[in-house]
Chains A and B, each alone.
Chain A
Amino acid sequence: MVDRRLQLARAGKKGILWGVLFFVCLQIGLSVAMDRFLPILRDPEYAYKIAFMHEYLAGKSNRPIIMALGSSHVDNGFEPDALGLDASPQSKDAIAYNFGLTGAGPLMEFLCLKRLIREGVRPKYCVMEIIPSGLTSNWELVRINADRLSVADFGLLKAYIKPWDSMVTTWLRARLAPWHAHRFCVLSWVAPKWLPSDCRRDGWANLEKDGWLPYPRPTAADEVRRKHFEANKREYAMWLDHFSISRIPNESTHRILGLCKKEGIVPIVVFMPQSTVLRAPWPDSAKTKFDAFLGLLEREYNAKIVDARDWIPDEHFADADHLLRPGATMFSNRLGREVIRPLLGNVEPDRRLVGSIRRRE
């Protein structure tokens, strides 16, 4: 009887200890796998973009690459096929790829470019979005989904975050139980039908082969567009009145352009199209500061500044600043014709397109 109890006690102890050990190993295993081999379990948007990119660029490594970086504005609005470049395998023309990421600002653009260079992808040209309103606050630190970051990404961000910041604590908590924190990514990869549609993370499987993610609906109802315009108008007025460039967007813009300079990448800074509601006249103080900022970028990094904010009429927007398909084609056509193709032909783009806000207002 005593032997039996001892036996059970020993079996119980071993069972629990082995269980703890295997559980810890499974957590660490998933964490390492997410960082090194399976980014789809951590950042599915990036993983799909990189997978599609490798497939698209396969056999075209001798051609100059034009990489578009930015937020969902770029994701929806930059159509590589509409730039007027010959993407066929036999061509020697430059090849463009859309690497826009939802919610990305200059910090995520910098991270993205670093990741691409780590992957061995060195674009010749980098079309990068700047959102004027996004320069006025450290919004990216709040907006960045910490779960998407790898250990290496944190190394790049350490200049901007303190150990006790919520981004760090969120990331650490997720890494303590990655099977739970990344469950939607795991299930979207292995069993997407087990998830309700709003939890699925495999929507980027619908990307075009060149990385473009067209706006999901073909049109936007006028009423919906009007409501978005009203909301954005109020938000826009607030930051314009108190315009000043915050530390993190300023530093990260300099870092990404510095990286371009170091790697020999030609930076093309683009203000993506906006609807009329976001094109209110700027106060003089805002214009002066912004002009100074752009001037510095031009002088230090030889950045080409493209102000495309008024290129597209309102009916081609889904809301205040996301383009519908026709709008994306229109924008990309014009960008290709007036900026990209001249640059490829070593011709400086028309000065009317570039330069300060003061000249345009």
Chain B
Amino acid sequence: MLFCSEAYLVFLALIFTVYWAIPVPRLRVWLLLVASFYFYASWNKWLACLICVSTAMDYAVALGMDRLQASWKRKLLLGLSLVANLGLLCYFKYANFFLDSLDHALRSVGATASLPILNVILPVGISFYTFEAINYTVDVYRRRIPAEKNLANFMLFITFFPHLVAGPIVRARDFLPQIKRPKRWDWARMQLGAQYLLMGAFKKMAIADRMALYSQPVYENPEAYGTQAVWLATLAFTIRIYCDFSGYTDMALGSAHLLGYKLARNFNMPYVAANVSEFWRRWHISLSSWLRDYLFIPLGGSRGSNWATARNLIITMTLGGLWHGVSWMFVVWGLVHGILLVVHRAFRSFCEMRPRLDRLVQSIPGRSVAVALTLFCVMMTWVLFYTGSLEAESALVAASKNAAAGQRVQATTYNAVKASRTIFKRLFTNRPGFACPIDSVSLWCTVALMVVCHALAQRGLWRKIATRLPAPAMGLGYALVLCMALVLAPDAGKAFIYFQF
């Protein structure tokens, strides 16, 4: 059930109506729980059982840790939870990937081995809900939060349908207290929820899916396209991934607001970041903060030497890349971002020792150059990300065919390394080929719209305008935004990119 589908609209409308009609708070919790399981089961009934079992296990582990005093016993329980959650993640998401990589490596040195083929379905949202479970058990272990005694509340924290399949990765300490708080109908909140839903629908349907018309044909077959088409496709994908993911998040936030829950913001205009460090404080905030709190800091963070900090950054970002999907290109993507973060730290230290240079970098022209350079670096890394995701999709198709055949009959048809190399050659040398698959006018209109919206948001003008507009004008604005989203949606709607993670 995609967020931008009729089925979800009907589902949300039904749950919303029944939810606010029920006066008893406990019943509302149970309603949301049933709705969330139904939502998840619409993808796959059996995997809904899996999430039930893993959630129940984490609930029991946390209760155990809360009651026990002995440090070694608590550590043991934490270890059990981590092994179970990461084990599930590794098995369902990475097992076939590592087996295929091993098979490929053995073949390349002339050896063969009869490696098993696993028939696994990737559970939707597994990367997200396992991380939520881990953050909960770790926080209980560190005694930052008490263990949740009510199983229904805990299950709702993990399975709450707005954030279940593609985040944001919710912290237990932010969400669990909200379940117990009484919910009152609030028109201002309903308007906020509606605004988020509209914005999300517009970003997804009118922008992200439309940008796919430019980027997908080119990245699937880069040899056929010329330099200009490849540049436009890269720009289009840069816009697409932001609007796709932030659009999904907006719809998640909007759905949650309509039910009286607040989820944390996941994006804060990442493309105006002046450096890669700032980019990661604005992009997929819930993941980057999770990686910081549960990986980077436990590894030592920036407390040690520069080399130790650099090592920690690179390990964190590389594993963060691997989290995104089953392709070595994601690992490379993460590694590149790790290196960029290290370079930025070094440059920042360099500037701090040179006040004039520091002033220049902080000036408006200096910051503009920094923003442009950061955006350029991020765009180039998206080439790796996109080819990686196309390879991962192709790997999934091959895996299911191999599983059906009982042997490795089909290799992954898309080679991300070769595609990336071709794309970079076309980006930096003038190569002939097909032009853009569709006229670039809608791409440039989209770029202009994004520049204007970002400028308005940066200056806080949205809020000023919104509070001064009379209600009919606001209403007309909502109606026009929704109509534009409906009109500009291209053919078949595409699944959200981050659903595959």
**Which A residues form the contact surface with B (CB < 8 A)?**
5, 8-23, 25-26, 177, 179-180, 183, 186-187, 191, 193-197, 199
Given A9-B186, A12-B188, A194-B488, also A18-B471 (CB < 8 A) = yes
Which of B438, B471, B479, B480 meets A195, CB within 8 Å?
Answer: B438
Q: How far does the alpha carbon of A180 sit from the alpha carbon of B487 in the complex, in Å? A: 5
Contact in complex: A22, B475 (CB < 8 Å): yes
- Residue-wise interface mask of B (168-190) relative to A, using a CB-CB cutoff of 8 A (1 in contact, 0 not): 00000000000000000011111
Inter-chain contact A19/B479, CB cutoff 8 Å: yes
Quick one: which of B191, B477, B491 has the most chain A CB within 10 A? B191
Other contacts beyond A18-B478, A177-B486: 10, CB < 8 A: A12-B187, A12-B191, A18-B475, A19-B477, A22-B472, A22-B476, A23-B479, A26-B480, A26-B483, A194-B210
Which residues 185-207 of B sit at the A interface, judged by CB distance below 8 A?
186-192, 194
- A–B Cβ pairs within 8 angstroms, 19 of them: A8-B188, A9-B186, A12-B190, A15-B475, A18-B474, A18-B476, A20-B475, A22-B479, A22-B480, A180-B486, A183-B486, A191-B441, A193-B439, A194-B439, A194-B488, A196-B213, A196-B437, A196-B491, A199-B490
> Within the assembled complex, what's the spacing in Å between the Cα atoms of A327 and B231?
45
Q: A12-B188, A193-B442, A194-B442 are in contact. Are A187 and B487 (CB under 8 A)?
A: yes
Query: Which residues of chain A are near B478, meaning CB under 8 Å?
Result: 15-16, 18-19, 22-23
Q: Which 9 residue pairs spanning A and B have beta carbons closest together?
A: A18-B475, A12-B191, A14-B471, A19-B478, A22-B479, A12-B187, A180-B486, A193-B439, A13-B187
Known pairs A22-B478, A196-B213; A183 contacts B187 (CB<8 A) = no
B482 at the A/B interface (Cβ < 8 Å)? yes
Complex: A193 Cα to B439 Cα, angstroms: 6
Complex Cα gap A18–B474 (Å): 8
B489 interface residue, CB < 8 Å from A?
A: yes
Chain B residues near A177: list those with CB within 8 A: 486
A183 close to B475 (CB less than 8 A): no
Closest to A194 in B: B442
Give the distance in Å from the alpha carbon of A20 to the alpha carbon of B190 in the complex: 13
CA distance A183 to B439 in the complex (A): 18
Interface residues on B, range: 20 to 34
Please give, as numbers and ranges, the residues of chain B lying within 8 Å of A17 by CB-CB distance.
Answer: 471, 475
Q: Tell me the complex Cα distance, A10–B345, Å.
A: 49
Complex contacts, A13 vs chain B, CB 8 Å: 187, 190-191
Cβ–Cβ < 8 Å partners of B192 in chain A: 12
Chain A neighbourhood of B437, CB < 8 A: 196
User: Chain B's nearest CB lies how many Å from the CB of A31?
Assistant: 13
Q: Which residues of B contact A8 (CB under 8 A)?
A: 187-188
Alpha-carbon separation in the docked complex, A22 to B482 (Å): 11
CB pair A23–B482 under 8 Å, yes or no, is yes
Q: Are B194 and A16 in contact (CB under 8 A)?
A: yes
B9 → A minimal CB distance (Å): 10
Q: Contacts of A9 on B, CB cut-off 8 Å?
A: 186-188
Per-residue CB contact flags for chain B residues 442-456 toward chain A (1 = under 8 Å, else 0) read 100000000000000
B487, A18: Cβ atoms closer than 8 Å = no
Given contacts A183-B489, A199-B490, whether A15 and B471 have CB atoms under 8 Å apart is yes
Q: Which residues of A contact B475 (CB under 8 A)?
A: 14-22
Residue from B186, B471, B477, B480 whose CB has the most chain A CB atoms within 10 Å: B471
Known contacts A180-B486, A193-B441, A199-B490; is A15 also within 8 Å of B476 by CB?
A: no
Number of A-B contacts (CB under 8 A): 103
Contact of B441 with A16 in the complex, beta carbons under 8 Å: no
Question: In the complex, what's the smallest C-beta–C-beta distance from A173 to chain B, in angstroms?
Answer: 8
**Residues of A with C-beta under 8 A to B190:** 12-13, 16
> Which residues of chain A are within 8 angstroms of B487 by Cβ–Cβ distance?
179-180, 183, 186-187
Taking CB as reference atom, which chain A residue is nearest B440?
A193
How far is B477's CA from A5's CA once the two chains are assembled, in angstroms?
A: 23
A113 → B minimal CB distance (Å): 33
Contacting residues, chain A, for B474 (C-beta < 8 A): 11, 14-15, 18-19
From B189, B441, B472, give the contact of A18 (CB < 8 A). Answer: B472
Q: How far is the CA of A186 from the CA of B186 in the complex (A)?
A: 37
Complex Cα distance A10/B191, Å? 10
Tell me whether B483 and A19 are in contact (CB under 8 A): no
A191–B489 Cα gap in the complex (Å)?
13
Instruction: Report chain A residues within 8 Å CB of B472.
Output: 14, 18, 22
Chain B residues whose C-beta falls within 8 Å of the C-beta of A11 in the assembled complex: 188, 191, 471, 474
Q: Which of these, A5, A183, A194, A199, contacts B441 with CB under 8 Å?
A: A194
CB of A19 within 8 A of CB of B194, answer yes
Bound together, the chains give a CA A17 to CA B479 distance in angstroms of 11
* Given A11-B471, A22-B476, A23-B478: A196 touches B188 (CB 8 Å cut-off): no
- Find chain A residues with CB under 8 A from B483 CB: 23, 26, 179
Chain A nearest Cβ from B135, distance in angstroms: 33
Q: Once bound together, how far apart are the Cα atoms of A196 and B472, in whole Å? A: 35
What is the distance, in angstroms, from B224's C-beta to the closest C-beta of chain A?
Answer: 16
Assembly CA distance A19 to B471 (angstroms)? 9
A192–B480 alpha-carbon span in the complex (Å): 20
- A137–B490 Cα distance when bound, in Å, is 34
In angstroms, Cα B189 to Cα A9, docked, is 8
A199/B491 contact (C-beta < 8 A), A9-B186, A23-B482, A177-B486 known: yes
For the complex, what is the distance from the CA of A17 to the CA of B490, rounded to whole Å? 29
Contacts A9-B186, A194-B441; is A179 near B213 (CB within 8 Å)? Answer: no
Distance in Å: Cβ of A193 to nearest Cβ of chain B? 4
Within 8 A of A (CB), among B481-501: 482-483, 486-491
Which residue of A5, A194, A195 has the most chain B CB atoms within 10 A of its CB atom? A194
Residue of A with least CB distance to B473? A18
- A residues near B482, Cβ cutoff 8 Å: 23
Nearest CB of chain A from residue B175's CB, rounded to whole Å: 24
CB distance from A199 to the nearest CB of B (A): 6
Q: Is the CB of B439 within 8 A of A26?
A: no
B289 to chain A minimum Cβ distance, whole angstroms, is 29
Write the chain B residue with the least CB distance to A193: B439
Q: Contacts of A21 on B, CB cut-off 8 Å?
A: 475
CA–CA, A194 and B484, complex, Å: 13
| Bound Cα distance A98, B300 (Å) | 79
Assembly CA distance A166 to B105 (angstroms): 54
Q: Given A183-B486, A183-B489, A187-B487: A15 and B191 within 8 A (CB)?
A: yes
CA A191 to CA B445, docked complex, whole Å: 12
CB pair A5–B438 under 8 Å, yes or no, is no
